[in-house]
Amino acid sequence: MNFTEPLILRSGEKLDSYHLAYETYGALNSLKNNAVLICHALNASHHVAGVYADAESASIGWWDTMIGPGKPVDTDQFFVIGINNLGSCFGSTGPMHLNPKTQKAWGSQFPVVTVEDWVEAQQRLVSALGIEKLCAVMGGSLGGMQALSWTLQYPDKVMHSIVIASAPNLNAENIAFNEVARRAIVNDPDFHGGNFYEYNVIPRRGLKIARMIGHITYLSDDVMNAKFGRELKNEKIKYSTQDVEFQIESYLRYQGEKFSEYFDANTYLLITRALDYFDPAKDYKNNLSLAFKELQASFLVISFKTDWRFSPSRSREIVKALIDNKRAVTYAEIDAPHGHDAFLLEDYRYLSVVRAYFEEIEKKINAKEQNNE
């Protein structure tokens, strides 16, 4: 969808016009009160569920375990919207597109976007789809930050917020990991200050390192030991500093390689920065309870015990601030072994919690629909 009303960003910069890629699943009901917006994290897109019919681009939606007919977020009941954020590289306006003012790729000139900017753009799309009020906003990790920010920016436009494996802001360690990844990209000679498109190169080395670092932090120590341990790639040790010796090395190199083939380097910088900046309590003397004063939505907050990047204690901060404000909140701490990645994986307990929550929402919606008949 194309938007021509300028978007004033938190940085003070302005996007005169932009395109937002999105997908929808299921049908909007007559009361238009069954819309669920899904917000993505670092490297995902608007393609949240299902498989593309077109065989060439056949790829499963990134949250297909969660969303679809008969799934926890049941598209037979709910109208689900997947959206690609500004600055991302999967269809919405981003740094690889032409800057209308220069007629060159934006590159590093693409304005820095924040979670709040994304939410504002999302709201315009939701509104353009004829939806006054979202039944739910939902996301994991950075997506959870958006789901939270919606309830702060548009308290009367969202009924339920589902915040998974997220945090009210990044701590120093998380910012640190983001920074190392960014430096790896920026220092890659093929980055050319962000204008690599003009040179027909890609800062693959930097992207690989960034992804390898990310991958380590998405997994738990335990799951890495269970999956790889100290298993060797070859039967015997080769005594080499540059060849692969351990399976974990092979896995990480492969992940880095794959990522560098499809992900945009400038997008990586932009999205990690949005993560760094998000901090709704900042303007409230770092008091999250104060920041939540105008909230109206009900919440489902979920964390995973082995997630050391967005640990349960960070989710509990959100829960505490909600309780301080007497907001309805359901909180589940799932004992899944997979670390931060758990929010994308199939775990019966996790999916059951989400399913139960959406079944309750469904009842409320159906009751309203009957009242309306």
Which residue numbers are catalytic? 141, 307, 340
Question: Which helix or strand (DSSP H or E) is residue 138 part of?
Answer: strand 134-140
Neighbours of 15 (CB within 10 A): 19
Phi, psi of 62 (to 5 degrees): -70, -20
261: contact with a copy of itself by CB under 8 A: no
Instruction: Report 8-47 residues binding a copy of itself (CB under 8 A).
Output: 10-13
Binds a copy of itself by CB under 8 A, chosen from 2, 103, 200, 240: 240
Euclidean distance between CA atoms 36 and 22, whole angstroms: 13
Please, which residues have CB within 8 angstroms of residue 61's CB and are 6 or more apart in sequence?
47, 48, 49, 50, 51, 67, 82
How far apart (Å, rounded) are the C-alpha atoms in residues 331 and 314? Answer: 12
108 interacts with a copy of itself by CB under 8 A: yes
Q: Cα 71 to the chain's mean position, in Å?
A: 20
| Gap between the Cα atoms of 260 and 265, Å rounded | 8
- Which of 143, 125, 44, 89 lies closest to 270 in space, CA to CA? 89
**What is residue 24's three-state secondary structure?**
strand
Q: Which of residues 285-304 bind a copy of itself (CB under 8 A)?
A: none
Q: Kindly state the smallest distance separating residue 308's Cβ from a copy of itself, in Å.
A: 8
Q: Which is nearer to a copy of itself, 249 or 360 (CB)?
A: 249
**Residues 176-235 contacting a copy of itself, CB under 8 A:** 176-177, 179-180, 182-184, 186-189, 194, 205, 208-209, 212-213, 215-216, 219, 221, 224-225, 227-230
Number of residues that bind a copy of itself (CB under 8 A): 61
Site string for a copy of itself, 269-288 (x = CB under 8 A): xx-xx--xx-x---------
Q: Give dist(CA 155, CA 133) in Å, integer.
A: 10
Binding site for a copy of itself (CB under 8 A): 10-13, 108, 111-112, 169-173, 175-177, 179-180, 182-184, 186-189, 194, 205, 208-209, 212-213, 215-216, 219, 221, 224-225, 227-230, 237, 239-242, 245-246, 248-249, 252-253, 256, 266, 269-270, 272-273, 276-277, 279, 308
